[in-house]
Structure 1
């Protein structure tokens, strides 16, 4: 316990003041007449009085240095002990300079750029008065029907952990106390939110503890180990108990086992939602369960405010639990330097220089270039500057390319695709533009306009996809194909017999029927952010060679979901060559395999893998295994390849995935250049959770796979001796 904070503040506070410190309110509670602030989630009539507002500990969604400073000043004038507010917000993939969505950032396979993007987001947020970001989201995602896959980095626990660490380091830097251009990171959603049944947001999660620990917890652990200052509870149940009231999950696992001593915050109204779950009879019981579980901050309900004092008076809750929660919040405020400088980082003058600066936008463009994934190319891309190009589709000139969680971004200032293409070639007469269709509608006039634009073109580029609100929180969908209006547009353009390239703007892996089979080239842009148009124009015209690789499998159809690369085998696995046997684990109307596997992505060049060798046929705990492969750029231009290493455990105490990503290297090679790529496998990488939840490796045979993605690999084997 930090004694000076306890003596100076906690010891002096009334019970009501302590409880109010655990309350987080949204921006409208601090609005001046006529002022409007955007918030997420349903706004309720909470019945919160002015005294509670004066003593609240944190605020959600205030943006802008001047506004923050005014709110903080007024708060300190009215707060008896002069305890400053914490200002928090969802700064997920950029503040004003919007970077590609996290799923796209994951597709860059570049943790250094991910860390840089988080650092820039922190710089813009901090100078605008914010102290905490509700990011990173590190939930493992295997179901693209879930709208929040756009906020994750994919289906692999190891890769998610790598990015979780990078984001935390980017947000917080090396010295959160001394560097006021950084913000505290709040890792979310603890735990297993990404495993919602049916891909339906807020839905039930039902996992064994072994599966939870083996696949879903590692990325949270990586974020905590990287120093994340806060953890947000998830909306779902874990082993039948809502996470927000789950003592085993929060106090036993997160705090006692992992040693996390930072602040735990509920997600929006999730304490109150325990009543709807059927885990609490009323708000009072919900408050009782949440405080006992270890939740420090109640986001946007009055469960704590209205009921904790009574629970203490009745002897049901020890006031020491409330003291602990208050102290953790005060410790974070002290770590951020708010007691010495309540306006920490906020600077209206510097804000104008830093926010959305040219330097930051250039970084956003670079990440958008490296996160776009070329899914198909039959000689159409890159475009040549002298070609006449028709850019058609609802995203041809749209600024709706920022994606969900870009609430401070500007669609008006986003670089549009057609504008950027004209800028690249310097001859706007060679680019014709037509909307072609809406996102979900198409008219005769739009079709006629599209045909007219395409008539004189050498190449057609269709800019298609989902509106930004078709993914993100609350954006679950059962049909993850493009809307029929856009599929009709593709069919119309295909009839013209001209080379056809599709650029996709979306927040999830899609069912690409009607797209992949019709187009000659497909470039996955995701929601690429503020500089998306500029990045894509550079890619389309070959100024940059695509290097992104998928971190979620693209299903052949939604009926396969969940489909992911690190699956288990079955007792009747499907053979590589069909033998007509009905009684094996397969669909009779679709392949088992996804359309595009984890790790997949093309370039404007080609790479050859040869000569996979291991340093020995056996390895031991003290003797790592060296893995070598020869990589050659066999194409005509420089390109970047992401070399991926997977391991498969042939026989485990419990069944093991057919293969698991263990390492990767990004290598840039000029045309004709060859290099040797070297990995080291150590025994620790072969460990997993056994049936008794112990973590160990098993002696025996293992396969090593190295290649361009999880499907196209070279293989070799070794034996672990113990």
Structure 2
């Protein structure tokens, strides 16, 4: 449908029909069971006529149901406009992949794109059109439960993953490729900087910091073609994002040139009232529409008061018309006017959803995301002839998907016990059920007894899924006390002890540092046990590298690698007091950004910069040789860091400017070369402009954010 036809369609709509087009309702409102929707309708104070014309729908599941809802909707809609079906498909539809923080730790953009492609295919044949992903919020505080949805603490890495997700979801021809879905980037903006790591809390930062650190990820997703943007719950410079006209009209639409759909998060328009910037629903509706929010999710401020605001002249009808047109354009971009059922197909659903092919891809992506944190005395990989004990709450747990696995089924997930049994000849797994928080005396005794008899003990610890995710902030980010007590008992009798972890955030692992090996598996998804077993037995040499730092303790938080220097920097002398340091802990995280081990030793040569001096517009060639000194083949994530020594604004001590992954055969060396442009040296100044100044820059090619031997060049 051409744009003039869409404009004509808007002109045919009544004022109420246009307002209703801005409403998103959940699946219950379209249920065939009257009792399922009468309560919600009464609660929102809307009529069946409003339901018939609400422009978008949230949480419909299954091809058959999607076709029924679309058919009924179009029959009841006077102008036969199709609805848009949206859902939270965060890291898989039915085939569940690692949580995004785990995907970020793969540093593998192709793996992220594959996840999005598989997710899109399963969602599309099940009738969905839009996913509320990617979340590109920059995260630096592991107390915040939603760090699990982000790809980490670095703006550059987040931006690259944002691009990969969008391209995977949307493909190259969204209108005609019915195996794709539209991507919605979220949460605009800076939701990841909630004070004290408390969900929905205030965000307080300078505009310069917002532009320099937080906006680049969203911008990368938009440049990759993301069709929608979701508002964040937090304030931006004292104004809640959902009613922030500067943020959405000036920055998003004006500066970034985004002309797609903006949707509120669940209930966020009405939350302008408790925020204290709107006195009632009418004022909340005015602020949101003036801020350019096109779709109101699951509150009724628009349907209750937008007609009145327009009739009295407070809001121009043209503002409503532009919002409606953007929604219709999105439906048109998806081809829904010609193909209202789009990809929904029960036969294709049966063929593709949770297929063997998709499970195989999920297994491979999961093992790329797993990070080996510790491996003393080459404890890992395991030999198949070793006598093993597999104990702990996560040993036989199916709780490996993560809380945002909407359609995932725990019973379809592979447990660690199932994965290990494929390889081990002698593995003794405890039979007593083991609670994460209050294990029975019998379960503890059995675990200790099995540990005594084994050559190697695998102690499977971690979080249950509800402990991270939305509304799951925590001040104590250690493992539950019962698990720490279990660790001490098993450690006391185990000859060799390996700890595996399922969790959704960086943890304080101080209490388990005496383990011989520690493997961070995150929530790996449907193929969790197989992927983790592949790592433990060396079928896959671990290649994951942390995308978010692990603190020594919660008192350091937020602790992240690309911090600014201070006027009194701590340089390592423990006797020097009047510098920026703790008396009772290091300044550094226990495991820094970019960190991870593999089997076998690798070394990095001195970084070489081919130009001592450069000018604006030049390209700086930086290289190093990476050598594998082992008999293991391995994938190495080679990282490029830069530091601007003197700037008009204080610059971080290191900034990631590039990375690449290389496959090294046993005893092989490769020279890795980066081409660094002077544009990559730009940063946001106090006047909000991007630029840089002449001066010295340090540069490292390194295996993580704390290692490497620096060299330098000068910009003249």
- TM-score, normalised with respect to structure 1: 0.97
Residue 418 in structure 1 maps to residue 413 in structure 2: no
Residue 553 in structure 1 maps to residue 554 in structure 2: no
- The alpha-carbon distance between structure 1 residues 34 and 45, as it changes in their structure 2 partners (threshold 3 A), is closer
- The alpha-carbon distance between structure 1 residues 636 and 227, as it changes in their structure 2 partners (threshold 3 A), is same
Task: Find the aligned partners of 1:299 and 1:432 in 2 and give their Cα distance.
Answer: 47
Task: Find the aligned partners of 1:623 and 1:472 in 2 and give their Cα distance.
Answer: 44
1:5 corresponds in structure 2 to: 6
State the Cα RMSD in Å. Answer: 1.4
Q: Which runs of 5+ in 1 are unaligned?
A: none
Structure 1 residues 669-678 or 557-566, which shifts more?
A: 669-678
Q: Secondary structure of 1:430's match? A: strand
Task: Find the aligned partners of 2:669 and 2:90 in 1 and give their Cα distance.
Answer: 39
From 570, 581, 585, give the equivalent of 2:566. 570
Q: For each residue in 1:529-577, what CA deviation from the matched residue of structure 2 results, as whole angstroms up to 9, or x when unmatched? A: 0001000111101111000000100001000000000001100000133
- The alpha-carbon distance between structure 1 residues 539 and 35, as it changes in their structure 2 partners (threshold 3 A), is farther
From 134, 137, 159, give the equivalent of 1:139. 137
Residue 628 in structure 1 maps to residue 623 in structure 2: yes
2:486 corresponds in structure 1 to: 489
* 1:498 Cα deviation after fit: 1.3
Task: Find the aligned partners of 1:121 and 1:587 in 2 and give their Cα distance.
Answer: 45
1:442 corresponds in structure 2 to: 439
- The alpha-carbon distance between structure 1 residues 661 and 315, as it changes in their structure 2 partners (threshold 3 A), is same
Task: Find the aligned partners of 2:434 and 2:417 in 1 and give their Cα distance.
Answer: 16
1:603 corresponds in structure 2 to: 598
Structure 1 residues 409-418 or 43-52, which shifts more?
A: 43-52
Please give the residue correspondences for 1:340-419 in structure 2 after superposition, counting only pairs within 5 Å.
Answer: 340-378=338-376, 379-419=378-418
1:521 corresponds in structure 2 to: 517
1:120 corresponds in structure 2 to: 118
| Paired residues of 1:400 and 1:468 also in contact (CA < 8 A) | yes
From 521, 529, 536, give the equivalent of 1:533. 529
| Paired residues of 2:501 and 2:519 also in contact (CA < 8 A) | yes
Q: How many equivalent pairs are there?
A: 712
- The alpha-carbon distance between structure 1 residues 436 and 627, as it changes in their structure 2 partners (threshold 3 A), is farther
Task: Find the aligned partners of 1:270 and 1:616 in 2 and give their Cα distance.
Answer: 52
Q: Secondary structure of 1:635's match? A: coil
| Paired residues of 2:29 and 2:41 also in contact (CA < 8 A) | no
| Paired residues of 2:414 and 2:527 also in contact (CA < 8 A) | yes
Residue 31 in structure 1 maps to residue 31 in structure 2: yes
2:330 corresponds in structure 1 to: 332
- The alpha-carbon distance between structure 1 residues 87 and 451, as it changes in their structure 2 partners (threshold 3 A), is same
2:611 corresponds in structure 1 to: 616
Q: For each residue in 1:296-321, what CA deviation from the matched residue of structure 2 results, as whole angstroms up to 9, or x when unmatched? A: 00000000000000101111010111
- The alpha-carbon distance between structure 1 residues 414 and 44, as it changes in their structure 2 partners (threshold 3 A), is farther
Q: Secondary structure of 1:438's match? A: coil
Task: Find the aligned partners of 2:4 and 2:352 in 1 and give their Cα distance.
Answer: 38
Q: Which runs of 5+ in 2 are unaligned?
A: none
Task: Find the aligned partners of 2:623 and 2:655 in 1 and give their Cα distance.
Answer: 18
Task: Find the aligned partners of 1:382 and 1:393 in 2 and give their Cα distance.
Answer: 20
Q: For each residue in 1:352-399, what CA deviation from the matched residue of structure 2 results, as whole angstroms up to 9, or x when unmatched? A: 000000111111000111000000001221111011111111110111
* 1:691 Cα deviation after fit: 1.0
* 1:624 Cα deviation after fit: 1.2
Q: Secondary structure of 2:701's match? A: strand
| Paired residues of 1:396 and 1:434 also in contact (CA < 8 A) | no
From 642, 647, 653, give the equivalent of 1:647. 642
Residue 504 in structure 1 maps to residue 491 in structure 2: no
From 285, 289, 292, give the equivalent of 1:291. 289
| Paired residues of 1:416 and 1:533 also in contact (CA < 8 A) | yes
| Paired residues of 2:457 and 2:494 also in contact (CA < 8 A) | no
2:689 corresponds in structure 1 to: 694
Residue 257 in structure 1 maps to residue 255 in structure 2: yes
* 1:34 Cα deviation after fit: 9.1
- The alpha-carbon distance between structure 1 residues 394 and 264, as it changes in their structure 2 partners (threshold 3 A), is same
* 1:35 Cα deviation after fit: 9.8
| Paired residues of 2:111 and 2:365 also in contact (CA < 8 A) | yes
From 435, 455, 458, give the equivalent of 2:455. 458
1:477 corresponds in structure 2 to: 474
* 1:435 Cα deviation after fit: 5.5
Task: Find the aligned partners of 1:59 and 1:496 in 2 and give their Cα distance.
Answer: 56
Please give the residue correspondences for 1:79-90 in structure 2 after superposition, counting only pairs within 5 Å.
Answer: 79-90=77-88
- TM-score, normalised with respect to structure 2: 0.98
Please give the residue correspondences for 1:99-248 in structure 2 after superposition, counting only pairs within 5 Å.
Answer: 99-248=97-246
| Paired residues of 1:107 and 1:372 also in contact (CA < 8 A) | yes
Q: Secondary structure of 1:107's match? A: helix
1:277 corresponds in structure 2 to: 275
| Paired residues of 1:391 and 1:434 also in contact (CA < 8 A) | no
Task: Find the aligned partners of 2:218 and 2:3 in 1 and give their Cα distance.
Answer: 26
Q: For each residue in 1:191-215, what CA deviation from the matched residue of structure 2 results, as whole angstroms up to 9, or x when unmatched? A: 0000000000000001100000000
| Paired residues of 1:436 and 1:450 also in contact (CA < 8 A) | no
| Paired residues of 1:62 and 1:87 also in contact (CA < 8 A) | yes
Q: For each residue in 1:170-220, what CA deviation from the matched residue of structure 2 results, as whole angstroms up to 9, or x when unmatched? A: 000000001010000000000000000000000000110000000000000
Q: For each residue in 1:381-433, what CA deviation from the matched residue of structure 2 results, as whole angstroms up to 9, or x when unmatched? A: 111101111111111011100002101001001011101111223x4x53333
